[in-house]
């Protein structure tokens, strides 16, 4: 059984992941409205991935005989001044999420809850990837700042990003 402290923190994390999903969906819609279909696609994939993160946590709580309690999703920003600003905010937000995941890992370790520690390893690794990909995108957006043709090319490139279901959810499809 999950400790009450870890159970509550995992429930909070579901909300944080769904808020992340909502944030990226909002960025996707803002990019779409600005005619940046590739950027919109990049953030749309991000929105799908964040929903996976929430589902992994929901499945896990259920598997440990806990109850998932969904809370309201706070509003998100709806407009950004540039693509660069979107990616800068993405990195800033992912750093906050990394802190939350580390906190969950610390509680699991404190509880000597090895199953939860194991489950959280995937999230620890995922956050390294999330931060690295946001940094890459900042670099790409900085490289084309003020260059309309460069942005057109970058947008075309981002249109090719595809969604892959998170590996911990693979058994769901069986």
Report DSSP state, residue 81: S
**From candidates 2, 9, 10, 17, binder to ligand FEO by CB under 6 A:** 17
Contact in structure between 61 and 68 (CB atoms under 8 Å): yes
In Å, how far are 35, 56, 60, 148 from 166, measured between CA atoms?
A: 29, 9, 14, 34
Tell me the H-state helices in the chain. 4-33, 37-63, 83-110, 114-143, 148-158
- In terms of C-beta density within 10 A (0-12 exposed, 13-18 middle, 19 or more buried), how is residue 174 classed? exposed
**From candidates 10, 31, 61, 97, binder to ligand FEO by CB under 6 A:** 97
Q: Decide if residue 94 touches ligand FEO (CB under 6 A).
A: yes
Site string for ligand FEO, 110-139 (x = CB under 6 A): --------------------x---------
- Nearest distance, CB of residue 35 and ligand FEO, angstroms: 26
Measured distance CA(18)–CA(7) in Å, rounded: 17
Site string for ligand FEO, 135-174 (x = CB under 6 A): ----------------------------------------
Site string for ligand FEO, 39-58 (x = CB under 6 A): -----------x--x-----
> In the complex with ligand FEO, which residue's Cβ is closer, 133 or 152?
133
Q: Which two tokens stand for residue 115?
A: 């199953």
- Which residues would be at the binding site for ligand FEO (CB under 6 A)? 17, 20, 50, 53, 94, 97, 130
């Amino acid at each position: 059984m999950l400790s009450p402290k870890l159970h509550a923190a995992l429930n909070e994390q579901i909300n944080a992941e769904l808020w992340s999903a909502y944030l990226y969906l909002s960025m996707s819609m803002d990019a779409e409205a600005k005619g940046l279909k590739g950027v919109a696609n990049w953030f749309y994939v991000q929105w799908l991935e964040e929903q996976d993160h929430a589902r992994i946590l929901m499945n896990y709580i259920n598997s440990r005989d806990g109850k998932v309690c969904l809370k309201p999703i706070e509003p998100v920003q709806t407009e950004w001044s540039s693509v660069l600003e979107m990616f800068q905010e993405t990195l800033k937000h992912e750093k906050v999420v990394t802190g939350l995941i580390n906190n969950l890992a610390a509680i699991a370790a404190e509880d000597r809850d090895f199953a939860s520690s194991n489950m959280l390893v995937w999230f620890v690794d995922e956050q390294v990837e999330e931060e690295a990909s946001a940094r890459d995108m900042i670099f790409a957006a900085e490289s084309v700042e003020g260059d309309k043709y460069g942005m057109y090319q970058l947008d075309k490139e981002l249109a090719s990003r595809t969604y892959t279901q998170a590996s911990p959810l693979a058994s769901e499809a069986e």
